[in-house]
Structure 1
Amino acid sequence: MNTLNNMAKGKSPGVIVSLFKRVGGEGEFTKIITEQNEADYAEQLSDLEENEKGLIIYRRNNNDWFLLTNKRLISVKDDNRLVMAHEDVIEVEVERDNIGKAPSLTRVAVTDKEGKQHGIQLERGQSFSGIIQVLYFIVRRSPPPLAGRF
């Protein structure tokens, strides 16, 4: 349980990568970031915080990408940028128009602690399955929001 609590605080990248590999895996545009390929993603990794590590990236190009770090979700689509700490993600769901079309699932909606939903585009197939399971895991391990707890 301690490992799971540490993951929620951004301290166990191995848990995230293991879950991604077990449930899904890499695709054409979705990769696990390693020492061997991190130079390929220098632009996406350039704004990481101290002690933050890029773990999994979906990148079609430099204007369309999603990065999962040990601390945050970062998504860029054209001029729209979303940055959200793991603990700020309170809900994850597959966007409604994608339900029932498993091979074509590509969009997920994440809800932040303010109740605002954000759409994130991902690669279809096993990569989508892996990332969505990691996001569900992050939600389960994050502390619940204060609103409605009293």
Structure 2
Amino acid sequence: MEKNISNSVLLSIFRRKGGEGKLTEIISLKNADKYNNLLKNAFESNDENLIGYLKDLKNWLILTNRHLIYSKDDIIYIINNSEIVGVSFALKEEMKKGIKDKQHFTMIEVAENGKSHIITIEAGKPYQGFYQVLSFIAGNNINNRESVK
């Protein structure tokens, strides 16, 4: 059984461990329309949008209360938050781009029950905060699975 993490907890982690940037923001009534328009093409859902990253119309990311939805080169991927079981730095990909300083990292590897996704988010504070949010979600999922055993 899936235990939901409150939206306020996830947003609090994002704010405390990193924060918004030029391309990454907490989704609110003021900016919701631009993210809702992206999601119209992804799927119909009752999700609540929490954090958005919009590089361009082909490369973006939205964390909702139930899903991590991202577009890479106009291909949309959807991950159930309850299926996220691991998060790590995408070091191989960063090194291929010649990036060695953690402050400039933009890629995160997300493990989803046997699959691996490389997501991209804005470097700096947005990266740090988003990484911590995903780590919290993964840890919560692992703890819930162990408590069911």
TM range (shorter): 0.7 to 0.9
Does the 8 Å CA contact 2:50/2:64 hold for their aligned counterparts? Answer: yes
**Secondary structure, in 3 states, of the residue corresponding to 1:92?**
strand
Normalising by structure 1, we get a TM-score of 0.83
1:84 pairs with 2:84: no
Structure 1: where are the runs of 5+ without partners? Answer: none
Does the 8 Å CA contact 1:44/1:67 hold for their aligned counterparts? Answer: no
Q: Alignment partner for residue 9 of structure 2, among 2, 10, 15?
A: 15
**Secondary structure, in 3 states, of the residue corresponding to 2:123?**
coil
Q: Alignment partner for residue 56 of structure 2, among 48, 53, 61?
A: 61
Tell me the equivalent position of 2:129: 130
Question: Over residues 88-128 of structure 1, what are the superposed CA-to-partner deviations in whole Å (9 max), with x where a residue is unaligned?
Answer: 11111111233851121100111111x11111011100000
CA distance in 2, matches of 1:18, 1:107: 22
Tell me the equivalent position of 1:49: 45
Does the 8 Å CA contact 2:59/2:74 hold for their aligned counterparts? Answer: no
Paired AA for residue 104 in structure 1: H
Q: Give the deviation of 1:6 after TM superposition.
A: 3.1
Paired AA for residue 138 in structure 1: I
RMSD (CA atoms): 2.1
CA distance in 2, matches of 1:87, 1:107: 21
Question: Over residues 68-99 of structure 1, what are the superposed CA-to-partner deviations in whole Å (9 max), with x where a residue is unaligned?
Answer: 00001001011322101111111111112338
Q: Where in structure 1 do 4 or more consecutive aligned residues deviate above 6 Å?
A: none
CA distance in 2, matches of 1:90, 1:78: 25
Tell me the equivalent position of 2:139: 140
Normalising by structure 2, we get a TM-score of 0.84
Structure 2: where are the runs of 5+ without partners? Answer: none
